[in-house]
Structure 1
Amino acid sequence: MKFDQFDCSSLMEITHRPDLVFLQGSGSWLEDSNKKRYLDFVQGWAVNALGHSASEMITAIERQSKLLINPSPAFYNLPSIELASRLTSNSCFDKVFFANSGAEANEGAIKLARKWGKIKKNGAYKIITMKDSFHGRTIATMSASGKLGWDTIFAPQVDGFLKAEINNIDSVESLIDNEVVAIMLEPIQGEAGVIPASDDFLKNLRLLANKNNLLLIVDEVQTGMGRTGKLFAYQHHNISPDIMTLGKGIGGGLPLSALLAREDVCVFSYGDQGGTYNGNPLCTAVGLAVFDTINEPNFMKSIVTKSERLSIALNKLSNKYNLLGERGKGLLRALILNSDDGNNIVEIARNLEPNGLLLNSPRPNLLRFMPALNVKEEEIDLLIYNLDNIFSKILK
């Protein structure tokens, strides 16, 4: 079925979409209405942890949909209890609040930090975030983000967000005063181009927070749930944050996110936090299936093995075409180009025949790779083969 046979006029235009409609997917592959297949190394921006239509998720949806879909968050339900227990048992946190999106989880983290500052730190409310960071698209999370130009789109911003530089501890320390309550950052800045916070920086942030009675908040919406080769990215650095947010991969493709915190930080009063679908049993049942799958024996080890394969191959391409190297951790990686051809490469890759390739270019001079965590080695090899062919034609 050709694209012009679909009437897309009722959909609000919030992004440029190519002229194709996807009808089904399996694992690392999508298929459009013309039955053309695409190797997907975007996976909904690191959302589909187990790829498209994972059997574990389908089983969970079928089973839970016959039991209970939505009793209201005013009552307990079994899947949310079990998933919360899994998360706290495998992290440094004590309590979980489930939400529907990463932005909503981050909004909750901001609220929790400000409430803690009101009660425990004489009304302190300011939060230090990082330049080029991305925390969501609500008014508050856009204000927290350091994305260029976001300070004017929906002005005025929410007050109280100070911007430091990632991996520059002096820039953070210089912003601390009696009104600062927390430091918030992504362990790896995804939208900024896959820029990891260094081990020293994160450890020094923890020390700085301790010294000044500040909360340390890690936004693991993109890095959490095995993406970096550990369940949570902060675990690479031997630190214990006070608050963490999860999204994307936790639901494997369904709308699910989480706000986690230590017991003594949980100062919400009844009515401070909530939401119609929070802790929905259908979504948390799928979250359980995703959690249990990525925590099976050797699954995390396979992520590390495949990430090393991808990293080595990207570095070989970089050397071959005089590019600027690759970076990242686990299966969140970027290839830095020597030109602003990123968007052009994305379009060429998508239009390859007989099978397309789905890529992401968050910055004009780089490509970002976020495959399913169970991507096959031969699919990584096919990605590299296609990139090699594309580069040979367009890169100088």
Structure 2
Amino acid sequence: MHDLIDFGKYFLPGPTEVRPELLRAMDRPVIGHRGPEMEALMERIQPRLRRLFRTDRPVYVSTSSATGLMEAAIRNCAPERVLSLVCGAFSERFHKIAVTCGRQAERLDVEPGDSNEPGPLIEALEGGGFDAVTVVHSETSTGVLNPIAEIAGAVRQASPDTLVLVDCVTSIAAAPVETREWGLDFALTGSQKGMALPPGLAFGAASQRAYDRSREIPGRGLYFSFDAFEAATSKNQTPNTPASSLIFALDVQLERIEAEGLEARWARHREMAERTWRWVDEMRDRHGVELEVLAAEGRRSPSVTCVKVPEGLSGVEITRRMGQRGFTIAAGYGKLRESTFRIGHMGDHTLDELEALLENLTGVITGKR
């Protein structure tokens, strides 16, 4: 199966392409998850995860998707009332999780392609009484980058006891995320996005006050209990049987990320994003094709770009024809399926690989080559 897609041509906005050396790292015998080998492995991994999250708190390692830790955030941090900032499909998912967990969940919506901003949030919080605010940093369905530092500051200003729960799934390891400095109470991500690993692991960092609050909340469950994560992490373990093969790859990838340098990694993602945005302008200026980046300037994600197509073009058809050329991109998500397509320029991709993709996209859209 691994020969079906040539390396360097897989640009989904998750799961991202995985380097061969990371796949090889998984090809080793399983070890006992309560033995000294696993403890040594987790001891090596934990400080590097903290540096990645920019926190001095433990980073939880969960064998689940990131959605699992979204539910953990609700169950551990919000006993009653939640305010969800919704700007796309995945921020809406956070809201739905709160509802299905039995919380009183209100939502503050903006149109797809728009960002959540501090002003309306402050107004919504003035009534008080919210245990937590949920928000997505990089909204994968629209390519919007929300101003999380400003949003967290607005929550502290308007409602100091309200916790800030942030989905950083397509921002950690791809864009600046300052968990400690910004005062994020829970930041989470998955292995298959900016970290460029196979799916199956999720990571989360809880502030001290979020952890303290979690211990007072009844009915938070067992598998995703912050208490269980804290106890296991203190012993260089995981609460439950982990996906050990993925942790072997995580060990190698964290070493690669630190060798590149986190700031350099952020800069590479920014460079790929800006090249993609220029390409959209070039399609309009040189070829007369009225493409448009859905997200506004200054609010665009460095890891995924959502491109709006004019009437007469189909995001689904463009995606299909790129597949015929051996490249994988994504159609729009949900209601945007036909009217947009998405490019995931994240993980370990290079600018040269992106240039090859954009050249082929130009050919597909203009009907040339």
Check whether TM > 0.5.
yes
CA distance in 2, matches of 1:205, 1:134: 21
User: Which among 103, 106, 118 is matched to residue 70 of structure 2?
Assistant: 106
| Residue among 344, 353, 360 paired with 2:331 | 360
Match of 1:346?
Answer: 319
Letter aligned with residue 78 of structure 1: A
Amino acid at match of 1:130: L
RMSD over equivalenced CA pairs, Å:
3.4
Does structure 1 residue 27 correspond to structure 2 residue 7?
yes
1:314 maps to 2:289: no
Question: Following the alignment from structure 1 to structure 2, what is the Cα–Cα distance between the partners of residues 131 and 180?
Answer: 16
Contact 2:322 2:329 in 1 (8 A): yes
- CA separation of 1:347/1:76 partners in 2, compared to 1, >3 Å: closer, same or farther? closer
Q: Quick one: distance in 2 between partners of 1:342 and 1:331? A: 19
The code of the aligned residue for 2:254 comes to: F
The code of the aligned residue for 1:330 comes to P
Deviation sequence 1:256-277 (CA, Å, 0-9, x none): 0012111232134598442675
Label 1:22 to 1:289 Cα distance change in 2 as closer, same or farther (>3 A). closer
Matches within 5 A, 1:160-199: 160-165=104-109, 166-176=115-125, 177-191=127-141, 193-198=142-147
- CA drift of 1:136 comes to 8.7
- Identity among equivalent pairs (%): 9
Comparing both structures, which one devotes a greater share of its residues to helix? 2
1:128-180 C-alpha deviation (Å, 9 max, x unpaired): 1123444499xx846148xxxxx8xxxx7843221113434343234334431
Distance (whole Å) between structure 2 residues aligned to residue 381 and residue 240 of structure 1: 37
What are the equivalent positions in structure 2 for 1:1-396 lying under 5 Å apart? 24-25=4-5, 27-28=7-8, 39-42=9-12, 45-48=13-16, 51-55=17-21, 57-62=22-27, 65-66=28-29, 68=31, 70-71=33-34, 77-90=39-52, 91-99=54-62, 100-114=64-78, 125-135=80-90, 141=94, 143-144=96-97, 158-165=102-109, 166-176=115-125, 177-191=127-141, 193-198=142-147, 202-212=149-159, 213-226=161-174, 228=175, 230=176, 232=177, 239-247=182-190, 248-249=192-193, 250=195, 252-267=197-212, 268-269=214-215, 272-274=221-223, 277=240, 279-297=242-260, 299-300=264-265, 301-319=267-285, 320-325=288-293, 327=295, 328-339=300-311, 341-352=314-325, 355-362=326-333, 363=336, 364-393=338-367
Find the aligned partners of 2:318 and 2:6 in 1 and give their Cα distance. Answer: 24
Letter in 1 for 2:314: D
Distance 1:158 1:125, change over 3 A: closer
Structure 1 residue runs of 5 or longer lacking an equivalent are 1-20, 29-38, 115-123, 146-150
Instruction: Name the SS of the counterpart of 1:296 in structure 2.
Output: helix
More displaced 10-residue stretch of structure 1: 128-137 or 279-288? 128-137
Deviations 1:157-212 (A, max 9, x none): 84322111343434323433443111111112112x1122147xx41442333441
Pair 1:136–1:210, CA change in 2 (3 A) = closer
Kindly state the Cα deviation for residue 302 of structure 1 after the two structures are TM-superposed. Answer: 3.1
Classify 1:211/1:357 alpha carbon distance in 2 versus 1 (closer, same or farther; 3 Å).
Answer: closer
TM-score by length of 1: 0.70
Is the contact between residue 184 and residue 218 of structure 1 (CA under 8 Å) also seen in structure 2? Answer: yes
Residue ranges of structure 2 left out of the alignment (5+ in a row): 110-114, 225-238
Cα distance in 2 between the residues matched to 1:76 and 1:262? 26
Verify the 8 A CA contact 2:84 2:95 in the aligned structure 1: no
Amino acid aligned to 1:381: E
Q: 1:169 to 1:27 in 2, by over 3 A?
A: same
The answer to whether the 8 A contact 1:69-1:282 is kept is no
TM-score w.r.t. the length of structure 2 is: 0.75
Asked if 1 retains the 8 angstrom alpha-carbon contact of 2:84 and 2:91, the reply is no
> What number of residue pairs does the alignment pair up?
325
Distance in 1 between the 2:208 and 2:222 partners?
A: 16
How far did residue 218 of structure 1 move? 1.2
Q: Deviations over 1:266-297 (max 9, x none)?
A: 13459844267564443223222222212223
Query: Does the 8 A contact of 1:326 with 1:334 survive in 2?
Result: yes
Cα shift at 1:244: 0.3
- The equivalent of 2:235 in structure 1 is none
SS of 1:285 mapped into structure 2: helix
Amino acid at match of 2:211: C
Question: Residues 182 and 209 of structure 1 are in contact (CA less than 8 Å); yes or no, is this contact kept in structure 2?
Answer: no
Q: In structure 1, the residue corresponding to 2:124 is in which secondary structure?
A: coil
Contact 2:77-2:132 at 8 Å conserved across structures: yes
Preserved contact between residue 46 and residue 59 of structure 2 (Cα < 8 Å): yes
What letter matches 2:278 in structure 1? Answer: I
1:360 and 1:379 map into 2 onto residues whose CA distance is: 20
- The CA deviation string for residues 13-48 of structure 1, in whole angstroms up to 9 with x for no partner, is xxxxxxxx76555532xxxxxxxxxx2211xx3233
